């Protein structure tokens, strides 16, 4: 009998504790604020225990959300240890662009070397495609094994018949001799205002022509596109190899209309004037003209106005 009474009392005690906890959440409490000096009531408000818990949780969520927004969308995140600042992020992006440009140039040189090996071995060169990785079919051990063709043997015999002390006159016929640059008509690549002239002292080996936005860039002579790529400093660049050892270069374009290996005519559209690359201050064409491996002043041979 005593054991049963004790058990009932314990159960009543557990129920009483649960009831007290429930009352703490349901009961409303009056919170009053007094002036410590005059003991005057400043304000008061009522709140239940459950309401206080919910209000506290909402306040914590609001504080966390506010701190997250400030860190994500303001410059305060730069004060967090280990987070890169704006200058560091710009350098990271610039290095990534330079790495990409160097990788593209490396693929182009590998393709040139592969095509040379293929030609020396009597095979057809690979198609020019900068997006396609270089997969040479020429074995490294056979690259130097050159077997002359029948046409090559006949050409060698004919050359040997000429005077060995004047090989240039024997190999190059009169019609193929180089023509002077002054005697050639160079097409104007783009009409505009020359903002920066050719100056060897400042190493500005080109002329900068400010043209209308999206103006068409044209080839100065007939030739073959030997480079149509993008670099971090000069943006979209296209280079054209012409006859008579003439090379023309067009930089900071918005878009290229030709790809490497294309044959172009004088006056044919090859690009669109733009503002690409780091070394530019506005839409313009950076035009270079090279003759026999030396830079020349384009203003001496072309009128841009």
Domain-by-domain residue ranges, the chain? 2-73, 84-127, 186-300
Spatial separation of the C-alpha atoms in residues 133 and 191, rounded to whole Å:
38
- The candidate with the shortest Cα–Cα distance to 239, out of 252, 256, 226, is 226
pLDDT at 83: 65
Residue 242 confidence class, pLDDT cut points 50, 70, 90:
very high
pLDDT at 7: 40
- The candidate with the shortest Cα–Cα distance to 270, out of 230, 231, 215, 232, is 215
Half-sphere exposure of 204 (CA within 13 A, CB side): 10
CA 237 to chain centre: 13
3 state SS for 17-72: HHHHHHHHHHCEEEEEEECCCCCCEEEEEEEEHHHHHHHHHHHHHHHHHHHHHHHH
pLDDT at 62: 93
Spatial separation of the C-alpha atoms in residues 208 and 190, rounded to whole Å:
11
Q: What is the CATH number of domain 186-300?
A: 2.70.70.10
* Higher pLDDT, residue 280 or 146: 280
pTM tops 0.85:
no
The mean predicted confidence, pLDDT, of the chain is: 78
Write the pLDDT tens digit of every residue in 38-47: 888 888 777 7
Write the pLDDT tens digit of every residue in 279-298: 888 889 999 999 988 999 99
Residue 72 confidence class, pLDDT cut points 50, 70, 90:
confident
Residue 234 has pLDDT above 80, yes or no: yes
Spatial separation of the C-alpha atoms in residues 302 and 211, rounded to whole Å:
15
* Higher pLDDT, residue 13 or 262: 262
* Higher pLDDT, residue 89 or 235: 235
Instruction: Tell me whether residue 227 is exposed, middle or buried, using C-beta atoms within 10 angstroms of its C-beta: 0 to 12, 13 to 18, 19 or more.
Output: middle
Residue 169 has pLDDT above 50, yes or no: no
* Higher pLDDT, residue 3 or 102: 102
Spatial separation of the C-alpha atoms in residues 137 and 114, rounded to whole Å:
8
| 153-175 average pLDDT score | 52
Write the pLDDT tens digit of every residue in 99-111: 888 888 888 888 8
Spatial separation of the C-alpha atoms in residues 103 and 129, rounded to whole Å:
14
């Amino acid at each position: 009998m005593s054991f049963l009474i004790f058990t009932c009392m314990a159960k009543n005690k557990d129920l009483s504790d649960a009831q007290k906890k429930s009352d703490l959440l349901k009961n409303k409490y009056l919170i009053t604020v007094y002036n410590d000096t005059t003991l005057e009531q400043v304000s008061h408000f009522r709140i239940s225990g459950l309401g206080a818990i919910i209000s506290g949780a909402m306040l914590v969520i609001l504080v966390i959300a506010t701190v997250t927004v400030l860190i994500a969308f303001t410059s305060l995140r730069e004060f967090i240890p280990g987070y890169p600042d704006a200058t560091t992020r710009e350098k990271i992006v610039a290095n990534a662009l330079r790495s990409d440009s160097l990788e593209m140039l490396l693929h182009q040189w590998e393709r040139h070397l592969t095509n040379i090996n293929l030609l020396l071995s009597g095979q057809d060169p690979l198609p020019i495609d900068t997006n396609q990785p270089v997969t040479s079919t020429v074995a490294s051990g056979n690259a130097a094994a050159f077997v002359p063709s029948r046409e090559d043997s006949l050409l060698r015999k004919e050359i040997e018949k000429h005077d060995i002390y004047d090989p240039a006159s024997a190999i190059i016929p009169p019609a193929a001799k180089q023509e002077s640059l002054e005697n050639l008509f160079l097409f104007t690549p783009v009409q505009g205002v020359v903002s920066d002239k050719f100056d060897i002292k400042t190493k500005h080996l080109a002329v900068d022509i400010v043209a209308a936005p999206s103006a068409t860039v044209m080839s100065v002579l007939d030739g073959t596109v030997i480079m149509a790529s993008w670099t971090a400093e000069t943006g979209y660049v296209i280079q054209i190899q012409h006859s008579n050892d003439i090379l023309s270069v067009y930089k900071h374009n918005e878009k290229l209309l030709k790809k490497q290996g294309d044959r172009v005519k004088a006056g044919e559209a090859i690009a669109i004037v733009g503002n690409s690359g780091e070394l530019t201050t506005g839409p313009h064409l950076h035009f270079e003209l090279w003759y026999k491996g030396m830079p020349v002043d384009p203003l001496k041979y072309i009128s841009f106005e």
